[in-house]
């Protein structure tokens, strides 16, 4: 019997509420961007909730460490940024590729070493370019619906100073209340039963695999899995990297045909469950991971009402929630991108290209941003070598 305590149970409940409420709008936006039907969107949300719940609980029980899994928030932003240029089955094919690459990273160490050699500044600049448009959309939406957007921005600015981890939970609750108070909400459907998983056979399109699958893998590794491992280590744990990454890839692979994009290690919500607030004794924090998983199984069962609720919300609310939720991630990505002076120019090129939304040969902006950044960095390093000779 796990040594549950009030603090571990509380942490295991707060963490999924923070993670779910803060970014569920972005996952729904990603589903809409690739043409998912309402049923497929519900399946997507339910499948990814189950994947991270079951995967995280299995790892937590196996290692007696609070190993918390989450959906890839940067990945969802990457998918949403495709803007309707990718069909749903082709997007699933990209999810399958990303999952297989994560499995290989866990099983074959040289692959992980190769990914680690991609400069952090370039990878972060690519991520920042993807996130930028979502954060900028908050400003775009403000003049169109000021009575909704501006109060939410003000609430966010205050709430993040009081308790940063719960700020988006407050924003979502206030946003829904304001929407109904202003009469901006659409009608809710009456059929809101338990969620059902829908199988859609993935298709494999070369351009989509390169333009979405590969960047999805890279941002998931760089922006989610590596920080997630860092959170565990910072709290005194020694995670088994290979088996953990392999497990996240396996659950992602199983859930992909049901619409789910990548599941990965959590960072922010992991800090809630793995930190001292969960329990003073690190050896007794792991039950919070079990509670977290059980909470997400419950959220998976009621994915339908959540999708219906957000479908009834105005575009301005969804854009505001998504943009505010990604401000922290954008700030972190830009900080890393600009940290190394020698890589700043290639990083700027990467950021600008990824943020432009340009598509060439059917391949999206994230890939081209990464490519131009690596080429520019290679040219600069070659020049430095020749100059030194």
The confidence score (pLDDT) of residue 118 equals 75
The three-class DSSP label of residue 48 is helix
Q: pLDDT tens across 251-264, in order?
A: 999 999 999 999 99
Distances (CA, A) of 100 to 96, 213, 247, 248: 6, 10, 11, 10
With respect to residue 173, please indicate whether it lies within any of the assigned structural domains: no
Q: What residues are paired with 130 via a beta bridge?
A: none
With respect to residue 225, please indicate whether it lies within any of the assigned structural domains: yes
Q: From the CB of residue 193, how many other CB atoms can be counted at a distance below 10 Å?
A: 9
With respect to residue 339, please indicate whether it lies within any of the assigned structural domains: yes
The pTM of this model reads: 0.80
Q: How confident is the model at residue 150 (pLDDT cuts 50, 70, 90)?
A: very high
Residue 263 has which token pair?
Answer: 């599941």
The residue behind tokens 């009081």 is: 162
With respect to residue 310, please indicate whether it lies within any of the assigned structural domains: yes
Strand-pair category, 69-71 with 263-265:
antiparallel
Mean pLDDT for all residues in the chain: 86
E strands, the chain, are 69-71, 263-265
Contact present, 323 and 138 (Cβ < 8 Å): yes
Residue 299's domain comprises 6-139+188-195+203-318+326-388
The three-class DSSP label of residue 264 is strand
Higher pLDDT, 72 or 255: 255
Q: From the CB of residue 180, how many other CB atoms can be counted at a distance below 10 Å?
A: 12
With respect to residue 144, please indicate whether it lies within any of the assigned structural domains: no
Distances (CA, A) of 78 to 34, 87, 149, 319: 11, 14, 23, 15
Q: pLDDT tens across 50-68, in order?
A: 999 999 999 999 999 999 9
With respect to residue 177, please indicate whether it lies within any of the assigned structural domains: no
Q: From the CB of residue 300, how many other CB atoms can be counted at a distance below 10 Å?
A: 22
Q: How many domains would you assign to the chain?
A: 1
The confidence score (pLDDT) of residue 258 equals 96
Distances (CA, A) of 61 to 74, 182, 235, 288: 27, 47, 18, 11
Q: From the CB of residue 79, how many other CB atoms can be counted at a distance below 10 Å?
A: 28
Q: How confident is the model at residue 2 (pLDDT cuts 50, 70, 90)?
A: low
């Amino acid at each position: 019997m796990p040594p549950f305590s009030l603090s571990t149970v509380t942490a295991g409940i707060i963490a999924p509420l923070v993670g779910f409420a803060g970014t569920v709008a972005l996952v729904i936006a990603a589903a809409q961007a690739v043409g998912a039907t309402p049923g497929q969107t519900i399946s997507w949300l339910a499948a990814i909730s189950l994947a991270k719940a079951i995967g995280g609980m299995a790892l937590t029980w196996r290692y007696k460490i609070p190993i918390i899994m989450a959906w890839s928030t940067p990945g969802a932003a990457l998918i949403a940024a495709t803007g309707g240029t990718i069909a749903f089955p082709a997007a699933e094919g990209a999810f399958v590729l990303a999952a297989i690459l994560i499995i290989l990273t866990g099983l074959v160490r040289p692959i992980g070493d190769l990914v680690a050699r991609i400069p952090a500044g370039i990878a972060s600049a690519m991520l920042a370019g993807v996130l930028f448009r979502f954060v900028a959309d908050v400003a775009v939406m403000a003049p169109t619906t000021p009575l909704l957007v501006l109060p939410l921005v003000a609430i966010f600015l205050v709430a993040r100073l009081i308790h940063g981890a719960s700020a988006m939970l407050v924003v979502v609750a206030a946003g829904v209340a304001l929407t109904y108070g202003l009469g901006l909400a659409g009608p809710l459907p009456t059929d809101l039963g338990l969620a059902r998983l829908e199988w859609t056979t993935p298709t494999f399109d070369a351009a989509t695999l390169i333009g979405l699958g590969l960047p999805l893998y890279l941002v998931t590794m760089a922006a989610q899995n590596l920080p997630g491992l860092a959170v565990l280590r910072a709290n005194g744990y020694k995670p088994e990297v290979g088996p953990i990454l392999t497990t996240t890839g396996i659950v992602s692979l199983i859930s992909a045909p049901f619409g789910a994009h990548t599941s990965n290690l959590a960072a922010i919500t992991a800090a809630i469950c793995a930190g001292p607030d969960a329990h003073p004794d690190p050896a007794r924090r792991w039950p919070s991971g079990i509670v977290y998983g059980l909470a997400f199984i419950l959220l998976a069962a009621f994915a339908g009402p959540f999708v219906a609720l957000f479908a009834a919300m105005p575009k301005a609310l969804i854009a505001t929630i998504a943009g505010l939720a990604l401000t922290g991630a954008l700030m972190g990505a830009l900080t890393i991108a600009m940290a190394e002076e020698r890589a700043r120019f290639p990083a700027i090129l990467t950021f600008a290209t990824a943020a432009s939304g340009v598509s060439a040969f059917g391949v999206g902006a994230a890939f081209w941003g990464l490519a131009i950044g690596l080429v520019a960095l290679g040219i600069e390093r070659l020049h430095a070598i020749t100059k030194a000779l």
